Structure 1
Amino acid sequence: MTKIMGFLEKYFLPVADKIGKQRHLMAIRNGLISTLPLTVVGSIFVIFLNLPIEGYEEMISSIRPTLDIPFRFTVGVMALYAAFSVGHFLGESYKVDPLSSGLLSTLGFLISVVVPTQVADDVEGVINAGRYLTIADLSSTSLFGAIVTAIISVEIYRILLQKNITIKMPSSVPPAVSKSFAALIPTAVIILLFWGIRHGLHFDINSTVTLAVSPLKKLLVGNSLIGGIITVFLIQLFWSFGIHGEAVLGPIIRPMWDSAILENMEAFDHIGNAHELPNLFTEQFLQWFVQIGGSGTTLALAILFLTSRVKFLKQMGKLTIVPGIFNINEPIVFGTPIVMNPILIIPFIFTPIILTIVSYIATITGLVPMMMAKLPFTMVGPVGSLMSTNWSIPAAILTIVNFVLSLAIYYPFFKIFEKQQLEIEAKNEEAIADTVVEA
């Protein structure tokens, strides 16, 4: 085990660290995380549009289109927000105007992805003649296109500024006005580029990018057990070295996670059945069924620490139990520590993998539904799984069952670790007693 850890620390972690700090990947991660309030609130509206109450659907049928509006303008146009936020953070990392970067990214996305629809005749009660934008083009289906066009737009903006291919205003001009004029030439270039690609060459950037990443997305966040296990294993492996697993993998997998849960939300909004959604291994699947108490399912360990005869472990249990209930596990991971701990690393890595397999079986057999909402990660486990699966009681029960299972897996390793700590504690007390006698 020590040799394996040493090998990974020497050859694997430096590469992973570089990937995690790569400028464009960090912009993608930060940009998508910044849209969290929109997806969370949008999810809440989906949940309350589908309360499992007899007669509820008929009761709201006349006002359902109105009640659906918050969902449509949060989750339903998520790619639009992502284009702006990714561009904003990438521009910020280059130290160019973040606002202009976000606006140009949004412009590039709209021109390259959205094709206005011409309606020649009025359809009474539905639509008037004219040109319209399809809201579906701004949804999760265009998320990858939004990311790519945002990166291209900001790179064009940055390069033109660095090459001084821009309009410079006198120093007496207010900064806001000066920045606006500086963006004129980049704006023209971005319009001509994406306009020519989409409407001149008839090349769809979004469809091409989405098709290119679909095999990886299907493996990691679709319905593949192997892909789910790979994701969980890598997250735990990074945490074992004290590196935030989701932060390292986030730039690569977060666009897929966000796309997957958005697809589930939109599908559920149409069919109303959480058992028939497209993506099983969403981030929410891991949050509510696997990472109970945080990565490594460490709430179980915090509970076991509370029962320990070792003073340090008992105190650690008291300090980490409340954060653990709300899925914050840094105190126990670094305070124990679990990082680089040859005893506790084993259950820390393999408990989530076992729970992933159990939860996968429960889902594909129809015992529990798939995830159809995105809630804050600090939600208490059973409540989170209950709400995220359209009020499924079996889903809440599965969270509790998985927690009990994690206790059983951690227990023998906890006892070994406790025995080791008891010996250390006894030696320390003996040393203190000898010092007092000598004094």
Structure 2
Amino acid sequence: MSSTKGQAFLDAFAEKSAKIGNQVHLRSLRDAFATIMPLFILVGIAVLVNAVLFDKIWGANGLAPNAELLTTLQYWGSAIASGTLNISALLLAGMIGYSLARNKRFDNAVACVVISIAAFVIMMPMTVTANLAAGSELITEKITTAEVGGVLSASNTGTQGMFGAITIGLLATTLFIKLSGIDKFAIRLGEGVPPAVEKSFNVLIPIMLTLGTFALAALLLNAIFATDLISLINTWIQAPLRSVVTSLPGLVFVYCLGTFLFTLGIHQSTVTGVLVEPILTIVLLENTTLFQAGQPIPVENYMNMDIINVFALSGGSGCTIALIIATFIWGKYKPSREVAKMSLLPGIFNINEPVIYGYPLVYNLPLMVPFVLCVAVNITVAYLATVAGIIAPCIAPVPWTTPLFLNSFLATGGDVAAVVLQVILLVVDVLLYLPFMKVSEKVFMKQASAESTSDEN
């Protein structure tokens, strides 16, 4: 009876988790990040080329003919950073509008891109504080900054403005789609009109009402509170949420929960993919921006998406590459060894569905323990090693399929100590899996023996 109730609870939990993961706004946020992720991987490569190849290898070892040539060559990477990181919030706002429109099956997704970007810019401050250049005649003992109008600040359009872009992009697109569904607001031009013209006139009034509403909100915030919506979002929503998500206890709990659910057949991304990974990605991109500018990485940014992909999920969810190695060395159950052979190559590229469902790990009680425990240990050790200065902070987005050891080297900007730590963690994970793997094999052997006896009878 209790087993039936337990299964019913798991089924209900799985259904609720699936609903959360498929919620249209969260799904649109995930899709938007997925669309522009290649740009962030490109800028990670560009930053690494500038910092590792040109600075550490050429510059530090005196291989470059002169410093001027190095600066010239680094222009390529800097240009890519300007076209990606510095406008990342604008790109994200537009793709959120597009993704939400597609997921809601709205027939004018392009208009939603325009609305999201326009609303986002409307909510930005109309003046920014600029530091006066050294040697400027305007600088006095008391005046070193000036208010400048007619410009967009990279602090709003870049990585620091991404959370504002998420909020405003979702709100503006949702409002626009609802207004567009009101027939009275549609302007019909009749037959013979080009489709693009007809679509633009159909949404003319909804566009004006949506952007007019956001402009009114910007006016009220500026006139009454002398602030803007992006600043309020960063202060009252982003900062508290980030402090929870990027804390060691918070992240360990979330990823251990997600990993545990994987052992019950509920994919980990249902919990982590839509709730915490966008925030961790934003933090990582901030690190890329700071690293590219030659600025130090703050401690609060040490916990980011690379810590998870490179160290916590080494070889895939649950660090199953360690289970594969343990099975190769000490495994005696032939079916498990066959699965390990097939799973090794995908595991090197952090793809572990073959071992998850083939070994299997799903509903395998002995292996549930190390599957979750390895994640907690790896997150904790990698974070503490970064805080202690043993390894460099993660600063470059790398594809999650980047092979083991290469991913840690690239993610930390060429830090060999990070590779050594990844090797140590892999050894620890193998030792954690070993006793539970032996128990699991004994269970499999007993089940196989029982089935064989049953067949003979």
Deviations 1:137-171 (A, max 9, x none): 21111111111111122122211222111222325
Distance 2:365 2:149 in 1: 67
Alignment check: 8 A CA contact 2:93 2:113 kept: yes
Which residue is equivalent to 2:241? Answer: 216
- 1:61 lines up with 2:71 in the alignment: yes
Distance 1:235 1:35 in 2: 25
Which residue is equivalent to 2:163? Answer: 144
Partner SS state of residue 328, structure 1: coil
Which residue is equivalent to 1:261? Answer: 284
Deviations 1:237-262 (A, max 9, x none): 22122222124322221321121011
Over 3 Å counting, the alpha-carbon distance change for 1:428 and 1:61 in structure 2 is: same
Which residue is equivalent to 1:326? Answer: 349
- 1:76 lines up with 2:96 in the alignment: no
Deviations 1:85-105 (A, max 9, x none): 111111112211221112211
Which residue is equivalent to 2:16? Answer: 15
Amino acid at match of 1:318: K
- 1:43 lines up with 2:44 in the alignment: yes
Distance 1:82 1:371 in 2: 22
Distance 1:3 1:232 in 2: 27
Segments of structure 1 that go 5 or more residues without pairing to the other structure are none
Which residue is equivalent to 2:189? Answer: 169
Amino acid at match of 2:51: N
Distance 2:99 2:344 in 1: 35
Distance 1:158 1:422 in 2: 58
Which residue is equivalent to 1:369? Answer: 392
Alignment check: 8 A CA contact 2:346 2:352 kept: yes
Deviation at residue 201 of structure 1 after TM alignment: 3.4
Distance 1:105 1:419 in 2: 57
Alignment check: 8 A CA contact 1:77 1:136 kept: no
Which residue is equivalent to 2:323? Answer: 301
Alignment check: 8 A CA contact 1:263 1:278 kept: no
- 1:24 lines up with 2:25 in the alignment: yes
Deviation at residue 292 of structure 1 after TM alignment: 1.0
Alignment check: 8 A CA contact 2:307 2:383 kept: no
Segments of structure 2 that go 5 or more residues without pairing to the other structure are 138-147
Alignment check: 8 A CA contact 2:398 2:407 kept: yes
Which residue is equivalent to 2:143? Answer: none
- 1:412 lines up with 2:435 in the alignment: yes
Over 3 Å counting, the alpha-carbon distance change for 1:8 and 1:286 in structure 2 is: farther
Q: 1:178 aligns with which of 198, 202, 216?
A: 198
- 1:339 lines up with 2:350 in the alignment: no
Distance 2:411 2:3 in 1: 40
Which ranges of 4 or more aligned residues in structure 1 deviate by more than 4 Å? 1-8, 116-119, 121-124, 427-432
Distance 1:132 1:238 in 2: 48
Deviation at residue 398 of structure 1 after TM alignment: 0.5
Which residue is equivalent to 1:133? Answer: 152
Q: 2:126 aligns with which of 98, 104, 115?
A: 115
Amino acid at match of 1:217: R
Deviation at residue 11 of structure 1 after TM alignment: 5.9
Over 3 Å counting, the alpha-carbon distance change for 1:208 and 1:71 in structure 2 is: same
Over 3 Å counting, the alpha-carbon distance change for 1:259 and 1:2 in structure 2 is: farther
Which residue is equivalent to 1:291? Answer: 313
Identity across matched positions, percent: 26
Alignment check: 8 A CA contact 1:114 1:134 kept: no
Alignment check: 8 A CA contact 1:300 1:407 kept: yes
Distance 1:241 1:431 in 2: 28
The more displaced of 362-371 and 176-185 is 176-185
Deviations 1:166-210 (A, max 9, x none): 222325434333222222112212221222222453152212122
The more displaced of 96-105 and 375-384 is 96-105
Amino acid at match of 2:210: I
Give the TM-score, by structure 2 length: 0.86
Q: 2:117 aligns with which of 97, 100, 106?
A: 106
Distance 2:355 2:390 in 1: 32
Deviation at residue 214 of structure 1 after TM alignment: 1.3
How big is the alpha-carbon RMSD for the aligned residues of Structure 1 and Structure 2? 2.8
Amino acid at match of 1:301: L
Deviations 1:66-119 (A, max 9, x none): 540101211221111110111111111221122111221111111112636699
Deviation at residue 378 of structure 1 after TM alignment: 0.5
Over 3 Å counting, the alpha-carbon distance change for 1:251 and 1:114 in structure 2 is: farther
Deviations 1:322-373 (A, max 9, x none): 1111001112112222122211111111111112222222111110111100
Alignment check: 8 A CA contact 2:221 2:229 kept: no
